[in-house]
Amino acid sequence: METGQPYLMPNKNKILQDNNVYLHFFKDGFYFCKSSEIVFIPTNNNSNDLNKALNLYLDSEVQESLNEISIILFQNPSTFVPLSLFDKSLSKRYLNLFNKAKDNEVLAYDILNEIKQVNVYSYPKYIYSVLKKSKIDFCLLHYNTILYRQVLNISSSIKFNYQLFIHFQLESIDIFLIRDSKVKFNNRFSVKNEDEFLYYLFFVVEQFNLTTDEYELIFLGRINSFENYYKAVNQYHNNIKFIDQEKNKLLDLQIHKAPYLALYSS
């Protein structure tokens, strides 16, 4: 099954606004996000539990204000394909080269017209079934689409030839290597401690033969839970910068599994 762009697909990343509801889906549940609160709702990966949980929280909102709900999918990694080469009938083949879709998952993609890229990914069928039956319009998006746009928006090649962007999630990291406002490398790695983080970080550095003075290391947010990771890399690299650290410094893994994106809707 393939969904493509079944819902409204905005081009710009947005910060949470008052009176709007945002749902961030992970493998074990979803975050119900508003500008005033972030609540995690666990589910047992089936449509009945999800439908019950959604109705419980949506019914507590003023229905008239729910013209649209933004949904960000975090369950699986994704892969990017140039728009000029993209064929939706080959979506599964594109994805299988990077992250094989399971039989109980739906194929989908986000089109990033402004940078001529397509982000291909998969997510559980039970989520698709519940959303399809809902009477509320949903804006569906993969989290990596937000990150891709974000890093290109804030990247600059004035001082360094390369910029290496790091995004932390619970037990994983997303790495983007940027040069001349273009993504040269992007991947997600499972990480459980500082040693694994350093291994994957410097694996990328070595693969592209980057010298210390050739690249800047940029962390998306400064999150309290990852201070040990920042200290670990600071022993080996000095050109380090934090983006939106004031906005994110109070967020913690106990609140959201991808703290930097907790405030982003689409």
At 224-233, the pLDDT tens digits run 889 999 999 9
Whether residues 88 and 204 fall in one domain: no
pLDDT recorded at residue 11: 42
The C-alpha R_g of the chain, in whole angstroms, comes to 19
Confidence class for position 9, pLDDT limits 50, 70, 90: very low
Domain boundary among 122, 150, 178: 150
Whether residues 181 and 128 fall in one domain: no
Whether residues 141 and 11 fall in one domain: yes
Q: Is 227 exposed, middle or buried (0-12, 13-18, 19+ CB in 10 A)?
A: exposed
Please tell me the least confidently modeled range out of 61-65, 210-214, 252-256: 61-65
Within a domain: 34: yes
At 136-148, the pLDDT tens digits run 778 899 999 999 9
Look up the CATH number of the domain holding residue 194: 3.30.420.260
Within a domain: 97: yes
CA pair distance 4, 154, nearest whole angstrom: 27
Structural domain harbouring 199: 155-258
Q: How far apart are the first and last CA of the chain?
A: 23
Within a domain: 265: no
Within a domain: 252: yes
Q: Is residue 18 scored above 60 in pLDDT?
A: no
Whether residues 141 and 37 fall in one domain: yes
Domain boundary among 150, 175, 202: 150
Look up the CATH number of the domain holding residue 4: 3.30.420
Whether residues 13 and 100 fall in one domain: yes
At 181-197, the pLDDT tens digits run 899 999 999 999 999 99
Domain boundary among 127, 150, 173: 150
CA pair distance 151, 164, nearest whole angstrom: 9
Whether residues 167 and 202 fall in one domain: yes
Report the number of distinct structural domains present in the chain: 2
Within a domain: 264: no
